[in-house]
Structures are given as C-alpha cells and as structure tokens.
C-alpha cells in the first residue's frame, strides 16, 4: 500500500544545466538553506505543524549545482526529496540528474543487497525481480496473486524477496516479516510457503492474533515451532529485517510493493507493466505474447 505522502512537487524552473551561468558567485550555504525553506513554505502554505528540514548542501557532480535533501514531517507521515540548487541560490530543481555516460540500471542493481535473501528461480536468470513488500499491505497481496500467474511459466525469471514493513500504518507487518525471516532461516524453501500463507490469510490476521497465526502457519508447513518461536524473539532476525528496510531506504523506496526488474523500478501491482519489463529482456516472450 502506498504510504501517505505530503504534497511536495517543485516545478522545474530549469532542467537545462548548460543554461546556468558558467561562473556564479557562491552564496553561503546557510543562506541558501534558509531561502529554500522559505520558498517551499510559501509555495505550499506549510504551517507550523509541518517540520521542514533542508539538509547540508553538497557537490552534485554537475558544475554550478549543489545537492540537498529536504525532509518533511507531518504527524506520522514523512517524505524525503532530493533537490538541486544553483550555487548562487537562484534556481531550485527537483528531479533526477542523469549522467548519460553511465548505465543507470547498473547503478541501481549495485545498490540492491540480495545476499541471504529468499529467492526462487535460477541464479543465472536473464530477468531478476527484487520485490520490496509488506505482508499486511493489500496491494502487495495483489502483486502476490499477479506473480502467481506470471512466474510459473517463465523459468528464466528469478524472484528475490526483501522485507519493507511499514509499521506506522501496518501494526502486524513487522511480526509477519520476522515470520518470513525465521521460516527462511530454518529452511529456505519454507519461506515461500510462509509467504503464501501470510498473503492468502491476510484478511484473518490482526495485531491481536498474529503471533498465534504465524506459529500455526509454521507448524502447518513443517517447521519446528519451538525453534521458530525462539527465532522470532532473536536479535538476528530483527537485524535481518532492519537491514532490508535500510536497503529499501537507500534505494528511495517509499511505498509497497516496489519492484526492481533488472534494475527498472515498478511501484504497485500492475501486471502489464511487470510483463512489459520482463518481455523487454526476454525476446522470446515477445513472440509468445503476440
């Protein structure tokens, strides 16, 4: 389920970097940060209930531009946006700056930490899908159902699962993530049985009964329930889930589900988009689907 986002969309005043002056008189960082804060508060009428923090300015790698992160917090909702500002403090840009000399997908793939993550499919697959998901998220369940239709007939595709429980709005999501991790630690193949059980029974799980339900699932899929219970309370399982969440934030994953298909980002459970990206890297699929 997509997390609630604060409305922060800055118009591209200028996205043509060469149009910036070749030489600009630098403005002190603190003055620029204050200017960005005032501009955004004025543009979006942010009141005192909105906490806005303009982070330190750093070189962006593009002449004439500095990079910063703007953090917005309203109650439990939080959003971080990367922005660029000219060194003279005149132009503010939100968006991505692409280095046309580099493969952007290779850079994304290099950030995906998939060691010791549950996976199904060949390690030399032509297409690898990395799924960041939350077991309590309804849209993640829709994705689960879509993948059950897509993957069985496509042995060239590998699926890797990464936890991203959104605890602010999903009270039992982290416990479910620990259940998946503990199933994997006891028997890697059993992870996928737990994965199915959690999604297939999502409607009957609650914050009050999640512990009993997951222990029941563990027994049903043949796990040692005593070992499973001990794992649920272990610092190792918690650290594994925390590491997955940290990796999601490194990749600026803000909602679930988010997929990376050979590095291409897909947010949500749109089967057509997923198939488009799979087909792009599997020429034989295009012919099959025509």
- Which pLDDT score is estimated for 6? 40
Length of the chain: 290
12 has pLDDT over 50: no
Average pLDDT over residues 146-169: 95
Q: Measure the CA–CA gap between 62 and 67, rounded to whole angstroms.
A: 9
Q: Residue 45: what are its φ and ψ, rounded to 5°?
A: 55, 40
Tens of pLDDT along 51-104? 999 999 999 989 999 999 999 998 878 888 899 999 999 999 988 888 888 898
13 burial type by CB count under 10 A (0-12 exposed, 13-18 middle, 19+ buried): exposed
Return the percentage of the chain with pLDDT > 70, whole number.
88
* Tally of CB atoms within 10 A around 289: 9
- Which pLDDT score is estimated for 5? 38
- Cβ–Cβ under 8 Å, residues 168 and 136: no
- Which pLDDT score is estimated for 78? 80
Average pLDDT over residues 25-43: 88
Q: 79: which residues sit within 8 A by CB, 6+ positions away? A: 5, 6, 8, 71, 72, 254
CATH fold of 17-94 reads Nuclear Transport Factor 2; Chain: A, (3.10.450)
* Tally of CB atoms within 10 A around 240: 20
- Domain 106-289 CATH class label: alpha beta
Assign 14 a pLDDT band (cuts: 50, 70, 90): very low
Q: Where in the chain is the domain with CATH 3.40.30.10?
A: 106-289
- Which pLDDT score is estimated for 284? 66
- Which pLDDT score is estimated for 210? 98
Q: Measure the CA–CA gap between 155 and 153, rounded to whole angstroms.
A: 6
Q: Measure the CA–CA gap between 156 and 282, rounded to whole angstroms.
A: 8
Q: Where in the chain is the domain with CATH 3.10.450?
A: 17-94
């Amino acid at each position: 389920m997509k997390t609630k986002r604060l409305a922060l969309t800055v118009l591209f005043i200028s996205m043509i970097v060469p149009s910036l002056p070749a030489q600009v008189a630098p403005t002190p960082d603190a003055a620029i940060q204050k200017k960005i804060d005032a501009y955004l508060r004025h543009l979006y009428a942010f009141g005192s209930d909105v906490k806005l923090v303009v982070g330190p300015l750093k070189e962006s790698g593009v002449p004439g531009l500095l990079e910063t992160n703007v953090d917005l917090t309203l109650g439990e909702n939080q959003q971080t946006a990367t922005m660029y500002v000219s060194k003279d403090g005149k132009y503010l840009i939100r968006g991505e700056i692409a280095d046309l000399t580099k493969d952007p997908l290779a850079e994304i793939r290099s950030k995906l930490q998939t060691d010791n993550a549950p996976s199904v499919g060949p390690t030399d697959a032509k297409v690898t899908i990395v799924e960041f998901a939350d077991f309590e998220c309804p849209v993640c369940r829709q994705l689960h159902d879509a993948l059950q239709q897509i993957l069985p007939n496509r042995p060239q595709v590998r699926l890797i699962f990464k936890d991203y429980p959104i605890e602010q709005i999903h009270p039992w999501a982290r416990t479910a993530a620990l259940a998946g991790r503990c199933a994997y630690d006891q028997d890697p193949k059993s992870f996928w049985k737990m994965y199915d059980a959690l999604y297939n029974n999502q409607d009957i799980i609650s914050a009050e009964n999640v512990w009993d339900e997951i222990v029941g699932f563990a027994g049903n899929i043949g796990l040692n329930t005593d070992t499973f219970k001990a794992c649920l309370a272990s610092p190792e399982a918690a650290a594994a889930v925390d590491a997955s969440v940290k990796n999601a934030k490194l990749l600026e994953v803000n909602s679930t589900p988010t997929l990376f298909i050979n590095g291409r980002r897909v947010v949500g459970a749109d089967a057509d988009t997923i198939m488009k990206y799979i087909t792009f890297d599997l020429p034989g699929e295009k012919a099959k689907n025509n």
